[in-house]
Chains A and B, each alone.
Chain A
Amino acid sequence: MGIKPNSENNSSTGDDIRLKSGREGLMGWLNPTRYGWERVSYWLQRLTGVGLLIYFIGHIYETSSLVNGINAWNSMLELTQTTGGHIFLLLVIGASTFHTVNGLRLIFTESGIGIGRPGRPDYPYDATSLNYKQKSGIWVALLLATIAMLYGGMVMFGDVT
């Protein structure tokens, strides 16, 4: 018959239970097997957000050395105004540009701007969550982040002011 014995029904692992209840936690976030551009954008928005918050707190701490006088300020600059420090700052520039542009796209999405009208689902069903305008927004965010990093690199490593 179709009914399984109790011993087989109770064989679910903790992972199965978490998956069935829809609570995958951090692993659900990081699972790369379901990545489309939407998911890359979702993940990058959170990653850059957390990174920028950490940088923001570090920047406030770094700047607070100002109140201890010129020597403390110069000591802090010696730590941060290095090649490694500039490369880190380039990552911050890229992260902040992506986070800003993609964040604006998300505000438009939540306001219903640029997502188009709902249409009748016709066969063959094309399962997409974003239309081309929204997807191109992700590309624009990545492109602008790259351009901002290039300009930042020229300011920090070159003669551009």
Chain B
Amino acid sequence: MPLLKLRESQIMKIHYLTGICAVFFVAIHILFRLIMPFGQSLEFHNVVANYHNIYYIILLELILVFISIHGFNGLRIILLELKQNQWWESTITILVLAAMIGVIAYGTRTIIIGSQL
């Protein structure tokens, strides 16, 4: 019995959708680095100022979630291409989900603390 009750076709649609959304959000994220000279935009006070903008915080969180889902599902697809059996598929799915949740949690912690600096 599959670990997730999602068909691979449904997972691929999520993969494509998160990828396309991530492109748009990352483009905005990069534009924030280009509204002033690149080095200056990375100065501590400028970055903290970004974290005080609620729309930018939402953007960062969306990027974090979308790229995590897209990236770790991509890794899962690659690993499932290499080997196929029930044990391997379940193990990879569990490990990838755990890593994805860990990265999202760690990134969210930075966003929350950063917004309170």
Interface size class of A (residues with CB under 8 A): 20 to 34
A64 within 8 Å of B by Cβ? yes
Please judge, given known A-B contacts A49-B78, A66-B110, whether A74 and B44 are in contact too, CB under 8 Å. Answer: yes
Residues 32-86 of A at the B interface (beta carbon under 8 Å): 46, 49-50, 52-53, 56-57, 60-61, 63-64, 66-67, 70, 73-74, 77, 81
Query: How many residue pairs between the two chains, A and B, have CB atoms under 8 Å in the bound complex?
Result: 74
Closest to B116 in A: A67
A67 to B82, Cβ gap below 8 A?
no
Cα distance A103–B20 in the bound complex, in angstroms: 9
B47 within 8 Å of A by Cβ? yes
**A contacts with B: majority SS:** helix
Cα distance A158–B19 in the bound complex, in angstroms: 31
A25 within 8 Å of B by Cβ? yes
A7 within 8 Å of B by Cβ? no
A63 to B110, Cβ gap below 8 A?
yes
